[in-house]
Chains A and B, each alone.
Chain A
Amino acid sequence: MAATVSYDDVEVGTALPAKTFPVQRQNLVMYAGASGDFNVIHWNERVATAVGLPNVIAHGMFTMAEASRVLTEWVGDPAAVVEYGVRFTKPVVVPDDDKGAELEVIGVVTDKLDDRRVAVELTARSGADKVLGKAKAVLQLA
């Protein structure tokens, strides 16, 4: 484990670099194949709308994975993420157009812990919706 961020350089309130991720149908098809989650609501608009969704929605786990990139890209070594959890509050709705959806993720250090670890809280939005709740991680810093 070799985080590139030093515990000594971080304070409660330190912001992680924010990121915006485009989410298109192609991303969901790739994620379905890679993860093995082929639930049709993630790629079939006919079925998604029939069960009451506004359109095809991203896998919650895809959203969780994208959001984690704010953590891993900040610390350098992804192994520095020692705990990561989210609640799935709203889906990311992905229309079948050239733009798709956008996922905006910000992160902030909320606590300095023992053993050179910090707690980070993420906020993930798509359009007006907060799509993850209780999105928290513990990172092992250098």
Chain B
Amino acid sequence: MSAADAIGRTYPKLPPYEVGREKIREFAEAIGDRNPAYLDAAAAQKLGHPDVIAPPTFPIIFTMRSTGAAVLDPELGIDYSRVVHGEQRFVYQRPVHAGDRLVCETTVEDLKNRAGSIFLYMRTDVTTEDGEQVLAAYSVIVSRAPEKES
């Protein structure tokens, strides 16, 4: 499919992802980060947050589920077995915290073919169920060109 046809394409929203205190704790421990704002609601509240907050890269858990629909869209021509994660960026309106019920919507921002490798640029807008914007995640997925037969 041409890039012009792909750009702007959005994918159906998945059911809301509910952020749990223990999931944040598990993620923080996996990255070795004992920041009290991730682990202790009272410490997070002292900083002005309603509950424990999530580390900056925690949103990959639910945004990657959302981008999966684009990566697996047969019309975009991505070969999943040759996929690597090229870039990732998050822009936060506010931190994610325990108790959030978050809805993701993924949009194709660009699709480029460079020497046989396909670069898929996606934006995932993350909002609460009430429509409050929480963050946007920008992902670049690369489907590497097959090696040439020698």
- Residue numbers of A with Cβ under 8 A of B are 1-2, 21, 27, 30-31, 33-37, 60-62, 64-66, 68-69, 71-73, 77-79, 81-88, 134
Q: Mark B32-65, 1 if CB is under 8 A from A, else 0.
A: 1101011000000001110001011100110011
Write out, one digit per residue, whether chain B residues 99-116 have a CB within 8 A of any chain A CB (1) or not (0). Answer: 000000000000000000
B137: nearest residue on chain A (CB-CB)?
A85
- Chain B residues positioned under 8 Å from A72 (CB to CB): 33, 35, 55-56
User: Which of A1, A30, A78 is B55 in contact with, Cβ under 8 Å?
Assistant: A78
Chain B binding surface SS class: mixed
B88/A85 in contact, CB under 8 A: yes
Q: Are B29 and A30 in contact (CB under 8 A)?
A: yes
Contact A85 B35 (CB under 8 A): no
Q: Count B interface residues, CB 8 Å.
A: 35
Q: Are B91 and A82 in contact (CB under 8 A)?
A: yes
Interface of A, helix, strand, loop or mixed by DSSP: helix
Q: 8 shortest A-B CB distances, which residue pairs?
A: A85-B89, A34-B30, A30-B30, A79-B95, A65-B57, A65-B31, A34-B27, A31-B30
Cβ-defined contact, B92 with A83, below 8 A: yes
**Which residues of B, 107-149, contact A by the 8 Å Cβ criterion?**
138, 140
* CB pair A88 B84 closer than 8 Å: yes
> Can you spell out 29 A-B residue pairs with CB atoms less than 8 angstroms apart?
A2-B47, A33-B26, A34-B27, A35-B61, A60-B88, A61-B60, A62-B30, A64-B88, A65-B55, A65-B57, A66-B31, A72-B35, A72-B55, A77-B37, A78-B35, A78-B55, A79-B95, A82-B92, A83-B89, A83-B90, A84-B56, A84-B57, A84-B89, A85-B88, A85-B138, A87-B87, A87-B140, A88-B85, A88-B88
